[in-house]
Structure 1
Amino acid sequence: MNYKMTAYVLGKMLGVEALVLCIPAAVSLIYGETSDMAAFGITSAVLCVFFLLFGRKKPENGRIYGKDGLVIVAAAWILWSVFGALPFYLSREIPSYVDALFETVSGFTTTGSTILTDIEALSYGMNFWRCLTHWIGGMGVLVFVMVVTSLDDKSSMHLMRAEVPGPEADKLVPKARETAKLLYAMYLALTVAEIIFLLAGGMNLYDSIIHSFSTAGTGGFANHNSSVAYYDSAYIDGVITVFMILFGINFNMYFLLLIKDVKSVWKNEEVRAYLGIIVAATLVITCNVLSIYKEPLKAFRYSIFQVASIITTTGFATADFNLWPELSKCILLLIMVIGACAGSTGGGVKVSRFLILWKSILKQVKGMLHPKSVNVVKVNGKKISNETLQGVYAYFSAYVFVFGISVLLVALDNFDFATTISGVLTTLSNVGPGISRVGPIENFQSFSVLSKIVFSMDMLIGRLEIFPFLMICSPSFWRKHF
């Protein structure tokens, strides 16, 4: 490992966070929230010290190796969360540091789970910071740092591969920093477009910005206790629904649209499967909740919003689906695990992995029926390598293992089965709301400190796609390198 380069990148990353904190500090200044300004200022000053110690001078050996990339990405997310929680704690907006850390991890990982019982009591500056963490975390902390700094070494593609969600991280352009810039240009364009559409629907500028941040990062933080339901507007519901679905699509598809390769986008099996799941789940749930809402259009409006919110792991709510029939809740739990497309801002296991797993099962069945036949797994006409297949199998195994351990630890709080299971599922899949006591109008405040730490780790593990986090937690890794 290149320890000096690792420390340099992490120091630079903390320096960027110090600058980012000036944005919510400016919001606090506009609204006259002096105590919040002080909290942001102190945190920023602490981060600047670390930047001066580690992030000023680039080492002579500027290579970032594959293992370095995994360590840097995992450490970056943990450190941004640890320091990002300080403003909440120092301002006493969230008096408990564990609660503040939970909220910040939930923000950066774009999970959207919360410990806040009264969101509307949060100050403008802190609410803005809370939602800004979604926007930064949506595309990735290190991708963001690569855009605003000079990390342009070719080997920094290891950072992209370690952080961009999905079985594979394809290059859009030859250089990692150029890829990061292109991703953020598309990301910013979609965010600005949503802000404009929400403003056109009568939402004020502050609300439009923070809801667009949360939609873009597929996180789901809002500034009202009743989430998007507060506005009770079919137009606003529709705008946010469309953009949630758009942000759940692989950003490579937007690049293909930019170069007018529409055919490749439509032929992409993951996109078709993703849209197909949304359509099928919406139709079934609409029929299932028709007895509650009476009007077909109203049932459709609430159904498609919640389906889009859950499969993209955004977590916004316009209805309390805890009150829906069991079939609808089971469908929402299933698509919660599936998640959005690889290379999107959405969480979950990813549609591509389930697509590969499904085709692997078909391959095994065909092999049993026709032992002499040669069967390969193909997605979008391309053969999936054995390395990728093994990675998918390993990911599912690790997911089940982490899920099982987490459930056992959270079960010590002795909540009901649905609360425990969905609480772990929703944090590990970076969704936000679950069912029962962690439903769309509930929160995670009543859990113990241990459970909140477990949930925070699950959110990080889910966002980092398990292995980078598990690697730095492995004793053998530290024994080998220290």
Structure 2
Amino acid sequence: MNYGIIIKILGNLLLFQIAALLPSLGIALYLGEPELQAFLYTIGILVLFGVPLSLKKTKSKRIQAKEGLTIVTLGWVLVAFFAAFPFYLSGVIPSFTNALFESVSGLTTTGASVIDNVEALSKGLLFWRSFLPWLGGMGIIVLTLAISPTLGVGGYQIYKAETPGPTAGKLSPRLHDTAKILFLVYLLITLALTVFLYFGGLSLFESLIHAFGTIGTGGLSTKNASIGAFNNHFIPWVISIFMIAAGVNFSLYYLMYQRKWRDAFSNSEFRLYLVVIAIGTILITLNLYGNIYQSLSESFRQAFFQVSSFITTTAYRTVDYESWPRFSQGILLFLLFIGGSSGSAAGSIKVIRHLVLLKLIKREISKILHPRAFIPIKVDGKSIPSSVETNIVGFFFLYLVLFASGSLLIMLFENIDFISASTAVAASLGNVGAGFGLVGPGHSFDFFTAESKMILAFLMLLGRLELFTIFVLLTPDFWRN
């Protein structure tokens, strides 16, 4: 294990976090907010730890799989730990456990919160709270790779460990260029949404905050009632479309830029993603029409928004969806376990895994009829390696085990019903941030005990880092030469 390069890169990540804090610091300074001191103290602490670590000398800059996994896991843990300091030092969240939950939830794009009244927060803290999911949506290390090519030395192992989905492809032979392309796409979509929201009637600050929440899929708002607080039909429509855009594999946008339209639109995962959205929207629309809304257009509008919100794991809301019929709620719960595309900002299991699993089931049924037949699993005309098949089956099983055991643990520590406990776990593991019951629309996670909050925060990190990344570090074999 090359500990020198691990320490050096972790130090660079802490210095990158200082840069990430500067916009919030600037807002607090400009508006004369008391939280300015909390940001200054946090930056001072980061300098104290980050500078010595980044100056660590190393004989080799070579990064193998072990170093990549260690850097990604420790990097996320460290950044989340220090990201809690502005909340805690400002006194807005007096408990460090709660502050850590808030920062982990933000950075992992989960969006679950312990803050009951977000409208009482200062603009500096509101910006930091909303900026965290945007940083985490693309991946803090991919963003750093885009900015700092020195971090990209042997960094494909880091990129592969952090990129959402069962595989990680490069858009350019040079990793630094790949990271820059992804970052540029991410930035341009964010800026585009900001402009739309601004001309739709929101202030520049609100436009930027909701662009962060939409494209990063964190779903954090400046309003307690989320998007439902805006008495404007244009805003939900625009956010719905951009939520869906955020759930698309960002590499497809690069293919579109290169005018490879056929390659982009023939992508199997992309097409299944759109089909699931269409089916979910139609079913909920028909269920709402006549039962909740007397207008077909209003039923469609509300259904389309919540389907887009749940499948992309953004969890914005325009209405109290728990007042909907059970059938509609069931579809939203189903979407919570699907998620967006691989290589997107969305969380949960991902569409590509569901697609491969369906093909695996189909193959096993065929082999019952034709036991000697060799039937390869193909996606977009390319055979899936057996190692990826095994990885996907293992992922589904581990996801189910974590969901079941997490739900039991939460019910052990909390005197709450099964729906509230299980959807809190599903919302954390899938980086959704909203569920049903006590964690439904309009509810915060503040009532959970400290033990439950740490369990949920751990599940958020597991979900964001695709489960295996963290579990590999917990095996004795990993630390043996």
TM-score w.r.t. length of structure 2: 0.98
- CA deviations 1:137-179 (Å, max 9, x no partner) are 0000101111222335452011111111001011100111111
- Contact persistence 2:110–2:431 (CA under 8 A): yes
Corresponding residue of 2:347? 347
Letter of the 2:280 counterpart: A
Structure 1 residue 190 corresponds to structure 2 residue 169: no
Corresponding residue of 2:436? 435
Q: Report matched runs for 1:53-72 at 5 Å.
A: 53-72=52-71
Letter of the 2:435 counterpart: G
* Partner Cα distance (1:228, 1:476) in 2: 48
Instruction: Find the residue that maps to 2:35 and give its secondary structure.
Output: helix
Corresponding residue of 2:176? 177
Q: Report matched runs for 1:302-381 at 5 Å.
A: 302-381=302-381
Letter of the 1:207 counterpart: E
Query: CA distance change for structure 1 residues 253 and 97 in 2, over 3 Å: closer, same or farther?
Result: same
Corresponding residue of 2:424? 423
Q: Which residues of structure 2 form unaligned runs of 5+?
A: none
Q: Report matched runs for 1:131-280 at 5 Å.
A: 131-151=130-150, 153-280=152-279
- CA deviations 1:198-220 (Å, max 9, x no partner) are 01101000000000011110110
Corresponding residue of 1:29? 29
* Partner Cα distance (1:216, 1:91) in 2: 27
- Contact persistence 2:42–2:86 (CA under 8 A): yes
* Partner Cα distance (2:135, 2:127) in 1: 12
Letter of the 1:424 counterpart: V
- Contact persistence 2:145–2:152 (CA under 8 A): no
Identical counterparts, % of pairs: 39
- Contact persistence 2:13–2:144 (CA under 8 A): yes
- Contact persistence 2:144–2:151 (CA under 8 A): no
- Contact persistence 2:240–2:308 (CA under 8 A): yes
Letter of the 1:439 counterpart: G
- CA deviations 1:298-318 (Å, max 9, x no partner) are 111111100000000011110
* Partner Cα distance (1:477, 1:98) in 2: 29
- CA deviations 1:308-347 (Å, max 9, x no partner) are 0000001111011111111111111111111000000000
Structure 1 residue 82 corresponds to structure 2 residue 81: yes
Instruction: Find the residue that maps to 1:330 and give its secondary structure.
Output: helix
* Partner Cα distance (1:397, 1:141) in 2: 28
Shift in Å at residue 57 of structure 1? 4.7
- Contact persistence 1:62–1:153 (CA under 8 A): no
Corresponding residue of 1:285? 284
* Partner Cα distance (1:152, 1:126) in 2: 29
- Contact persistence 2:11–2:49 (CA under 8 A): yes
Letter of the 1:200 counterpart: F
* Partner Cα distance (1:209, 1:474) in 2: 42
- Contact persistence 1:63–1:153 (CA under 8 A): no
Q: Bigger shift: 18-27 or 449-458?
A: 18-27
* Partner Cα distance (1:289, 1:56) in 2: 60
Shift in Å at residue 471 of structure 1? 2.3
Instruction: Find the residue that maps to 1:397 and give its secondary structure.
Output: helix
* Partner Cα distance (1:147, 1:449) in 2: 36
- Kindly report structure 1 stretches of 4+ aligned residues shifted beyond 6 Å: none
* Partner Cα distance (1:61, 1:153) in 2: 14
Aligned length: 479
- Contact persistence 1:99–1:115 (CA under 8 A): yes
Shift in Å at residue 251 of structure 1? 0.7
Query: CA distance change for structure 1 residues 443 and 475 in 2, over 3 Å: closer, same or farther?
Result: farther
Letter of the 1:222 counterpart: S
Structure 1 residue 444 corresponds to structure 2 residue 445: yes
* Partner Cα distance (1:83, 1:122) in 2: 19
Letter of the 1:193 counterpart: A
- Contact persistence 2:66–2:478 (CA under 8 A): no
Structure 1 residue 414 corresponds to structure 2 residue 423: no
Letter of the 2:455 counterpart: V
- CA deviations 1:382-423 (Å, max 9, x no partner) are 000001111111111211122222111101202011101100
Q: Bigger shift: 96-105 or 56-65?
A: 56-65
* Partner Cα distance (2:168, 2:406) in 1: 28
Corresponding residue of 1:461? 462
Q: Which residues of structure 1 form unaligned runs of 5+?
A: none
* Partner Cα distance (1:277, 1:31) in 2: 45
Q: Bigger shift: 58-67 or 333-342?
A: 58-67
* Partner Cα distance (1:175, 1:152) in 2: 13
Corresponding residue of 1:382? 382
